[in-house]
Structure 1
Amino acid sequence: MPENGFANGGRSQEIMDSGKSAESGRCFSWPRRRCFLCILLVAAIWVFYNTNIMEMTADWKPKWWMQNNTAKWWMQNNTAKWWMQFKSATYMEIPPNTTDVNTNTSDSSPAVPQTEVVHLTENPPVPTAEAPLVTQLTTQNKAVLPTPIPYVSPGPYSVEYPYEYHFIINEPNKCEQQKPFVVLMVPVAPHNREHRDIIRSTWGSESTVLGKVVKLFFLLALHPGEGAEQIQQQLLQESREHQDLIQSDFLDCYKNLTIKTMVMLEWLDSHCSSASYAMKIDSDTFLNLNNLVNMLLNAPKDNYMTGLVATGAQVLRDPRSKWYLPVSVFPESHYPRYALGLGYVLSLDLPKKLVEASRHVKPVYIEDVYLGLCMRHLGISPTNPPNWNLFHVSPLFYNRCAYSNIIVTTANENTDRVWVWKDFKRPQPFC
């Protein structure tokens, strides 16, 4: 060690100085000569050793060595402690059958202070079922570190919930600031900017209806395919422009609609419980907000869920069906009452209750059915709407009179929804 070389040199000088004092004025005796020769030998070794080190590492410095080797030592001895400390940090769940991406029904100015944005690290890996994506997420003020827990699939007809998902883009203070009467929650695929812009320019543009505040949010997860990093950067920019995106850290695909719905309920309970009602509505729809608010002015305040309520719906056993469930997953032949997912309304006391019920009800990938199962667990039945004609799961052909008497309808794929909205809002009698 270099430190030994320096110590030996100091020790040699000390012995030489003491020898001079003792032998002053006399010749050296043999024992003292032998001691002197030993001293010379030690000194020669010290000079050779240090010269060799300097030749090998001309820029060697003790401070540099301590900095680099101390860091290596710390890493070797503290890695296990580091992983244990962040055991509960962000983990991205990758469910099976994630190639069926829902693109429709479900699926630069400075950021405003209430917008909470978490940035993905550069060059994130592409998620696959075999290699779950574990992403380090960082905020402006802190880092959320990943937990390397191996993914275990819950099966093709179940989903990973409950689970501690996190929000990457959030609007945590909007409800508190604007105090809406009804909150519109629109699940949409991350890449589907077109649907979001159409909604923003049509029924999503109405912020006050019949004297009541209406607030719109889009609910997203992570893009599952190629170009994920580019889409994520576009979403961050879109969030800065509109402040209406809420994004969580699971994979966005049709099989994960139940996760998206439950994360939506978690968000409503945490950040929007002061509102009176929320409506989950698909992104390819037409919404008549006047009729919605008018219905809610006379609706119950507690334990209330309504929409197009299905009663006695049969479980589909054909494996070719998009909504197939095997007997091993759901042995009952019929579902309990549930409100169809195109658009359902609930009072804001229900999100907390439904999240709690989900801890006791096995999750399936059909999100509206799963909410029906949770409602049954709570002993609460969805309420029939005042008029069955208010909710249309099949596209309703547009005319102003028909659309003036509904709350929501699925739009035809080729419908120009912006034109429909402008025509519908013309200041003329509907019928």
Structure 2
Amino acid sequence: MGSENILHKNVSENLNNFLWRENGELPTEKVKIENKNRSASTWSFKFLINEKEKCKDKTPFLILLIATTAAEIQLRSSIRKSWGNESVVQGVEVVRLFMLGVQNKGPNEVLLKESEQYHDIIQQDFLDTYYNLTLKTLMGMKWVASYCSGASFVMKTDSDVFVNTMYLIEKLLRPLSPPPQNYFTGCLMKGYKPIRDKTSKWYISEEEYPGDNYHPFCSGTGYIFSGDLASKIVSASVTIKYIHLEDVYVGLCLNAKGIQIVPPPSYSLFNIYKVPFSPCLYSNIITSHHIQTNEHIVYWERLQKNHHTCQTKQKGP
């Protein structure tokens, strides 16, 4: 099996999830998978859509890995026209990739046409559910490690997050010269404990994660890491037992490799909630969460229109 067909899969025992057969068809019955002490590398998935040539003739400064689902067509369109534009900063090479699993039996012709038009979609044949977000993120990291390992930085984010890519590149990343190794930052979450309340979205059983505390991690709404870390995180996933909380899992992988998360220069940069919009406020943050489809473009256009005004106000008389 070629490297493009390999990524690590495991499905939590209590999820009683569907698996895909090799021919891509859904089995008629749910299949329960024993999960005790399994790493995220127990199962492998094939790429249904890949972009192996994306970095063939370039070495990106920044790769944007954006978690999405097949149905979010308009969200992807809005992101392409706004903060996810690969020409967002003149002279800076940016690569955009939307990451998807599979939601329906058989090929998605609409998605395939979208892929042929924009060449910014990667998809593997795991079921696209909340519980498989870890698989989706590992797919993106495996892609970086396999096809674009020379990238200086990578950002993982979600389709309902607004990212001020101009601030990210010009104020946070460009000053880090030369690009560092083992660099990881975002909305730092320290001292968090597993939630055992079964009604919570973030519930995790003691069987899935028996520990009393999580290692430090960054919220999955948006974190940044140096390109060299993609392969290190994938390597760690070989030995780290799978959990479905993607950001917590990445934190476990970083801990296993002895990587210390770098606190952001300001804790107002990465926001896990929706920041009320104003051009000057958004000109000084990197992420805002719970963004609607039309807001990506509206916020971005207003941000560009008022960019110089806001800079002047910040500098003062």
TM bracket, shorter-chain basis: 0.7 to 0.9
Alignment match of 1:305 (pick from 155, 177, 184): 184
Amino acid at match of 2:157: I
Q: What CA distance in whole angstroms lies between the structure 2 residues aligned with 1:326 and 1:207?
A: 44
CA contact (8 A) 2:7 2:43 kept: no
Counterpart for residue 267 of structure 2:
388
Match of 2:289 among 400, 404, 410: 410
Gaps of 5+ in 2: 25-29
Partner of 2:85: 205
Which string of whole-angstrom CA distances, capped at 9 and with x for unpartnered residues, describes residues 79-137 of structure 1? xxxxxx9xxx99997946999xxxxxxxxxxxxxxxxxxxxxxxxxxxx946x431437
Contact 1:222–1:252 (8 Å) recurs in 2: yes
Question: Which among 340, 343, 346 is matched to residue 219 of structure 2?
Answer: 340
Q: Does the aligned pair in 1 maintain the 2:101–2:125 contact within 8 Å?
A: yes
Gaps of 5+ in 1: 1-84, 100-127, 138-149
Determine the structure 1 residue equivalent to 2:27: none
CA apart distance, 1:320 = 1.0
> CA 1:377/1:93 → structure 2, altered by over 3 Å: closer, same or farther?
closer
* Residue 257 (structure 1) shift: 0.5
Question: Quick check: 1:421 aligned with 2:311?
Answer: no
Displacement of 1:386: 1.2
Q: 1:132-163 deviations in whole A, cap 9, x for unaligned?
A: 431437xxxxxxxxxxxx95514599886443
Q: Which residue in 1 is equivalent to 2:205?
A: 326
- Whether contact under 8 Å (1:191, 1:223) holds in the other structure is no
How many residues are aligned here? Answer: 301
Cα distance per residue 1:355-409 (max 9 Å; x no partner): 1111111110000000101111111111111111110101000000100000111
For the aligned residues, what is the CA RMSD?
3.1
> In the alignment, is the contact (CA less than 8 A) between 1:183 and 1:277 conserved in 2?
yes
User: 2:94 maps to what in 1?
Assistant: 214
> What is the CA-CA distance between 1:184 and the residue it aligns to?
0.4
Paired with 1:93 and 1:354, the residues of 2 have a C-alpha distance of 14
Opposite residue 21 of structure 2, the aligned amino acid is V
Change (3 A) 1:211 1:260: same
- Please give the alpha-carbon distance, in whole angstroms, between the structure 2 residues aligned to 1:315 and 1:169: 35
Give the TM-score normalised by structure 2: 0.85
Give the C-alpha shift of residue 292 in structure 1: 0.8
AA paired with 2:268?
N
Q: Are 1:95 and 1:159, in contact at CA under 8 Å, matched by a contact in 2?
A: no
Instruction: Tell me, in whole angstroms, the C-alpha distance in 1 between the residues paired with 2:198 and 2:45.
Output: 30
CA contact (8 A) 2:137 2:246 kept: yes
**Structure-2 residue corresponding to 1:196:** 76
Q: 1:97 to 1:326 in 2, by over 3 A?
A: closer
Q: Of 16, 21, 40, which residue of structure 2 is paired with 1:134?
A: 21
Higher relative contact order (CA 8 A, sep 6+): 2
* CA positional deviation for 1:315: 1.5
Contact 1:184/1:279 (CA < 8 Å) preserved in 2?
Answer: yes
Check whether the contact 1:154–1:160 (CA below 8 A) recurs between aligned residues. no
The structure in which a higher percent of residues are helix is 1
Q: Does 1:254 align with 2:130?
A: yes
Which structure 2 residues correspond to residues 46-65 of structure 1 after superposition, within 5 A?
A: none
Paired amino acid for 2:174: L
Could you list the per-position Cα deviations for residues 289-337 of structure 1 after superposition, in whole angstroms to 9, with x for gaps in the alignment?
1211121123352111100011111211111111112223322222111
Residue 158 of structure 1 contacts residue 365 of structure 1 at CA under 8 Å; is this kept in 2?
no
The answer on 1:263 being equivalent to 2:139 is yes
Kindly indicate whether the alpha-carbon contact (under 8 Å) linking 2:9 and 2:135 is maintained by their aligned counterparts in 1: no
**Contact 1:307-1:385 at 8 Å conserved across structures:** yes
Structure 2 SS opposite 1:418 = helix
One-letter amino acid matched to 2:78: I
Q: Given the superposition, is the C-alpha separation of residues 96 and 377 from structure 1 closer, same or farther in structure 2, using an over 3 Å criterion? A: closer
